[in-house]
């Protein structure tokens, strides 16, 4: 794994401070080094202990605490940061930043860092709309600070309006955007991504499925749309949120996924098959719930269409990328799939390795190219893997 990036998460004293536990946990699970810095007021809303546990790092609050690892704490943290995120950002920290006031650890780090700074404001609507706050926000934007728009809704003070902390997912995605600082190199390209598991009905209450959560496919869709592509996401059932800007088509069965992929194929430049499509479905669907008895039951299965193989036969200018989820002879099996399905690139994941495959936020993959090249990648977050796959696709154009 490359040296993990350091995300310094500054938390100021707003009611939304408790939500940052989720952000910290997500960053840590995705392989970031997370350094939490809290204002004294923030510690009234969420304990440093919670954040220390979730970030696996000591939480810094006091300017003069000498327990940290840096010789001069605020300078050390400021230099170590690859990004400084302040969430929730109160009207107070925004005002202090606009004036260059450094009267506690967090505001001092803000002045000392040269890392990109991202703010997620959250406060009462009147405080947010106040001309002083709006002036301060403008000043900070002019200085290159990235500021997320607060969401609208019911606020803790009972008022309904602008001022809620943006969704954690939005803050997380923005952090990745700022860190990656990728060019919009997929503008004018249309990419179809399949994601998740399909469900093959046995009767009205039972179905056959697998462990795919859709995370790999959704990461690909999010990464591609950020790089400027038009993205169709054809997804099996999942609890994930469709990334902003992605055109999603939700399906259940392999046959539904197959129909939509064939319908869209003429419009796309790239297909990436990250879905774990059921190879088989029950031959007979029972309209009524199957009754149990004391005997064993046999369900006869029949083959589903192979989506990528079908698209491979129709391929003209399109680039086809497949995944192979294997538990043995990974590379050999993957190469066979690549040939059979007429793929340009195959992403092999070895399901027996910890950190790879289903459900987690990370993957370990090997890219197999048509010309025989192999690129083995280290453990990475699924979003990072998506970035490397898209780089490889770009190379193939
Ligand atoms: O969704 P996650 O929880 O994040 O997990 C990610 C993942 C493990 C599902 C993903 O990384 C992955 O490996 N996806 C492909 C899983 C799979 O079904 O592999 P396969 O070897 O059975 O299929 C090979 C390729 O053919 C795949 O690109 C698959 O989408 C495609 N296929 C398979 C069967 C079928 N009937 N039609 C297809 O198009």
pLDDT in tens, 186-228: 989 999 999 999 999 999 999 999 999 999 999 999 889 888 8
**Token duo for residue 224:** 């591609």
* pLDDT value at residue 252: 98
* pLDDT value at residue 184: 79
* pLDDT value at residue 361: 86
Looking at domain 6-179, its CATH class is alpha beta
* pLDDT value at residue 276: 98
Do 109 and 36 touch, CB atoms closer than 8 A?
no
Segment among 43-47, 164-168, 272-276 with least mean pLDDT: 164-168
* pLDDT value at residue 340: 96
Helices within the chain (DSSP H only): 20-29, 48-55, 73-80, 91-99, 105-112, 125-129, 131-142, 168-180, 215-226, 254-265, 307-314, 330-340, 382-396
Residues 172, 79: Cα–Cα separation, whole Å: 21
Atom of ligand 1 nearest to the CA of 351: 8
Cα of 358 from ligand 1 centre, angstroms? 10
State the pLDDT confidence band at 99, using cuts at 50, 70 and 90: very high
Atom of ligand 1 nearest to the CA of 333: 21
Mean pLDDT within 302-306? 98
State the pLDDT confidence band at 364, using cuts at 50, 70 and 90: very high
Task: Supply the residue whose CA is at minimum distance from atom 35 of ligand 1.
Answer: 306
Is residue 157 part of the annotated active site? The answer reads yes
Mutate to test the pocket of ligand 1, among 273, 333, 354, 359 (most ligand atoms within 8 A of CB): 273
User: What are the tens digits of pLDDT across the range 367-394?
Assistant: 999 999 999 999 988 988 999 999 999 9
Task: Supply the residue whose CA is at minimum distance from atom 21 of ligand 1.
Answer: 324
Alpha carbon distances (Å) from 363 to 69, 191, 322, 379: 31, 21, 15, 6
Give the residue, 161 or 300, on which the prediction is more confident.
300
Residues 34, 81: Cα–Cα separation, whole Å: 9
Looking at the predicted structure, is the pLDDT value of residue 1 above 60?
Answer: no
Active-site option among 1, 99, 132, 157: 157
Superfamily of domain 184-395: CoaB-like (3.40.50.10300)
Looking at the predicted structure, is the pLDDT value of residue 70 above 70?
Answer: no
Q: Where along the chain do its domains lie? A: 6-179, 184-395
Evaluate if pTM is beyond 0.75: no
Task: Supply the residue whose CA is at minimum distance from atom 33 of ligand 1.
Answer: 277
Average pLDDT, the chain: 93
- The closest alpha carbon to 38, from 77, 12, 15, 58, belongs to 12
Cα of 144 from ligand 1 centre, angstroms? 41
Mutate to test the pocket of ligand 1, among 325, 326, 357, 382 (most ligand atoms within 8 A of CB): 325
Looking at the predicted structure, is the pLDDT value of residue 36 above 90?
Answer: yes
Is 233 buried (19+), middle (13-18) or exposed (0-12) by CB count in 10 A?
Answer: buried
Do 189 and 214 touch, CB atoms closer than 8 A?
no
Atom of ligand 1 nearest to the CA of 346: 28
* pLDDT value at residue 73: 72
Domains 6-179 and 184-395 share a fold: yes
User: What are the tens digits of pLDDT across the range 112-169?
Assistant: 999 999 999 999 999 999 999 999 999 999 888 999 999 888 877 777 888 899 999 8
Give the residue, 155 or 366, on which the prediction is more confident.
366
Looking at the predicted structure, is the pLDDT value of residue 182 above 70?
Answer: no
- The closest alpha carbon to 274, from 379, 386, 163, 143, belongs to 386
The structure tokens 């993990």 sit at 4
Assess whether the C-beta atom of 268 lies below 6 angstroms from ligand 1: no
- Strands 190-195 and 160-164, by their bridges, are unpaired
Assess whether the C-beta atom of 253 lies below 6 angstroms from ligand 1: no
Looking at the predicted structure, is the pLDDT value of residue 37 above 90?
Answer: yes
Got the DSSP string for 165-182?
PPPHHHHHHHHHHHHH--
Cα of 276 from ligand 1 centre, angstroms? 4
Do 20 and 9 touch, CB atoms closer than 8 A?
yes
Assess whether the C-beta atom of 308 lies below 6 angstroms from ligand 1: yes
Phi-psi region of 385 (alpha: psi -120 to 50; beta: other; left: phi over 0): alpha
């Amino acid at each position: 794994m490359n040296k993990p990036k350091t995300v310094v998460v500054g938390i100021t004293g707003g009611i939304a401070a408790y939500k940052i536990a989720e952000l910290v946990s997500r960053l840590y699970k995705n392989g970031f080094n997370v350094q939490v810095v809290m204002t004294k007021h923030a510690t009234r809303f969420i304990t440093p202990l919670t954040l220390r546990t979730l970030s696996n790092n000591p939480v810094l609050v006091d300017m003069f605490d000498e327990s940290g690892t840096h010789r001069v704490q605020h300078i050390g943290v400021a230099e170590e940061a690859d990004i400084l995120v302040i969430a929730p950002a109160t009207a107070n920290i925004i005002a202090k930043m606009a004036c260059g006031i450094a009267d506690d650890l967090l505001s001092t780090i803000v002045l000392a860092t040269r890392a990109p700074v991202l703010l997620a404001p959250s406060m009462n609507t009147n405080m947010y709309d106040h001309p002083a706050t709006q002036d301060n926000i403008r000043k900070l934007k002019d200085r290159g600070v990235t500021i997320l728009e607060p969401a609208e809704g019911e606020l803790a003070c009972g008022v309904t309006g602008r001022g809620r902390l943006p969704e954690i997912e939005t803050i997380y995605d923005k952090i990745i955007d700022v860190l990656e600082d990728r060019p919009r190199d997929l503008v004018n390209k249309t990419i179809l991504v399949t994601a998740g598991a399909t469900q093959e009905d046995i009767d009205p209450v039972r179905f056959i499925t697998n462990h795919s959560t859709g995370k790999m496919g959704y990461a690909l869709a999010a990464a591609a749309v950020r790089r400027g592509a038009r993205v169709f996401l054809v997804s099996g059932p999942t609890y994930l949120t469709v990334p902003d800007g992605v055109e999603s088509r939700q399906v259940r069965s392999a046959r539904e996924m197959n129909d939509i992929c064939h319908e869209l194929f003429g419009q796309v430049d790239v297909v990436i098959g990250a879905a774990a499509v059921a190879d088989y479905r029950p031959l007979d669907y029972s309209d009524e719930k199957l009754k149990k008895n004391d005997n064993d039951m046999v369900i006869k299965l029949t083959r589903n269409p192979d989506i990528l193989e079908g698209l491979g036969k129709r391929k003209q200018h399109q680039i086809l990328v497949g995944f192979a989820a294997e538990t043995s002879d990974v590379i050999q099996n993957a190469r066979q799939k690549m040939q059979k399905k007429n793929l340009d690139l195959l992403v092999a994941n070895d399901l027996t390795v910890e950190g790879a495959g289903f459900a987690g936020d990370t993957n370990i993959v090997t890219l197999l190219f048509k010309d025989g090249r192999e690129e083995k990648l280290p453990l990475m977050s699924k979003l990072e893997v998506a970035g490397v796959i898209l780089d490889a696709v770009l190379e193939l154009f």
